[in-house]
Amino acid sequence: MVLAFTGCTQPEDPTPRKVQVKKIEGSYKLYKDGKPYTIKGAAGNTHFKTLKEMGGNTIRVWDTTRLSVILDSAKANQLAVIVGLPIFNSDYQSFYNDPAKVNGQYRAFKSVVNKYKNHPSLLMWCLGNELDFPFKPSYNDFYSAFNELTKMIHQDDPDHPVTTTVLNFNKKYLFNLKLRCDIDLISFNIFGRITYLRDDLSSVSWFWKGPFMVTEWGIDGPWDGTAQTAWAAYIEDTSTKKAEQYQDRYEKHMPIEKPGFLGAFAFFWGNKQEGTQSWFSMFDTQEGKSQVVDAMKYLWTGKHLEYSFPQVNYMLLNEKGARDNIFLSPGHTFSAKVLMLNKDHIKSVKWEIYPEDWYKKNNLHNDKKLQPLMQETKTAQFLEDKFIAPKAEGPYRIFATIYDDHGNFSTCNTPFYVVTDK
């Protein structure tokens, strides 16, 4: 039984390591190639050149898909990578109770670790993502499998620390990790509840003051008590509001002063479908940057980009906002307009109508972008236009993406519901 989170190498350890977590005068520090390393991180797997240009230095990926390409791209852009090893969660007891399946998982990740352990861009391994660490004896097989993997990584690759992530902050999981596991640091994925993280860390200081990272953080997710319409469609902030929230959240609530803090990874450095195609996306499907990217540059470097972004105030449909619960008749014309805080250098407006993304599997949103029912790009003066409501009854959203002369953009959208009279 090992009491963990002490750091993979203490200062008195004579063995040089490529990456080390050291405890120095009561604080934990990360060292890479013998030098202090301050993580300025993003969670994603694309736009490595832009990450470097914005002042970032580390990327976090969740699995080993295209890992060779990712590591080589990171090297070319002088970035480090935290590599995720995607193991099954503890509640998959049928998996962990089957020795053949557990051995297969072990062999697969042993192969990955030994294949990439000498890559110069590798920073550390992350074993699992948002795992549960319950105490009941029925989970002993999970803990055995988890500990065999951490033991293997420490033996085969002592040059790189091992972490795992938990969702939000869970005292019981933290206690069980400390009591039953041997990892080098803990990582938190935390969004809306980051405002409590500083106090949460203080509340467990009587039994744990170890090193930690925040491996996902950002704006409120749809699960964070976000406002909803009458038909349970989540109301999404504009990209301008999101940029403000990223900066405010980091400056006011990221516990950078805590002695165990090693760094944080903003989510999501790329484009993804989760709730909507724009909710967490810092980029469009090409190279266009949202204002959130500018906020991250400021947090990493203290400087903004040399040009301003189109700044959205809000959107109206038939002079109503999203919280007004907008119901439309099928096939009828409605007006939509975007009110801007500034209109400098606006080049075009892309309007789109999508069906609402209500599909959920295992309580997770669809990860495949939906197909638009309507899509058209207009010149800058079309911040207000008229559209035809879909004929089929049901929930929808209208999106506006406002592009500037640099190819960067701002976004907003409004949900509405089509009601038939039949």
Domain boundary among the residues 275, 301, 327 is at: 301
Please give the pLDDT value at position 14: 56
Question: What are the tens digits of pLDDT across the range 258-275?
Answer: 999 999 999 999 999 998
Whether 11 is covered by a domain: the verdict is no
Whether 238 is covered by a domain: the verdict is yes
One domain, residues 317 and 296? no
Q: What is the mean pLDDT of residues 216-235?
A: 92
One domain, residues 284 and 394? no
One domain, residues 353 and 291? no
One domain, residues 119 and 227? yes
- CATH classification at residue 213: 3.20.20.80
Whether 182 is covered by a domain: the verdict is yes
**Residues spanned by the domain of 327:** 311-418
Domain boundary among the residues 301, 327, 350 is at: 301
One domain, residues 244 and 182? yes
One domain, residues 131 and 207? yes
Please give the pLDDT value at position 422: 60
Please give the pLDDT value at position 362: 55
One domain, residues 289 and 353? no
Q: pTM of the predicted model, to two decimals? A: 0.93
**CB 179 within 8 Å of CB 207:** no
- Torsion-angle region of residue 128: left (phi > 0), alpha (psi -120 to 50) or beta? left
One domain, residues 215 and 364? no
Domain boundary among the residues 301, 334, 366 is at: 301
- CATH classification at residue 371: 2.60.40.1930
How far apart, in whole angstroms, are the C-alpha atoms of residue 164 and residue 127?
A: 5
Q: Is the pLDDT of residue 13 over 70?
A: no
One domain, residues 65 and 196? yes
Whether 5 is covered by a domain: the verdict is no
One domain, residues 107 and 38? yes
Q: What is the mean pLDDT of residues 307-333?
A: 95
Number of domains making up the chain: 2
One domain, residues 318 and 255? no
One domain, residues 198 and 243? yes
Question: What are the tens digits of pLDDT across the range 162-200?
Answer: 999 999 999 999 999 999 999 999 999 999 999 999 999
Please give the pLDDT value at position 3: 41
Question: What are the tens digits of pLDDT across the range 349-396?
Answer: 999 999 998 756 555 566 788 899 999 998 877 899 999 999 999 999
Whether 366 is covered by a domain: the verdict is yes
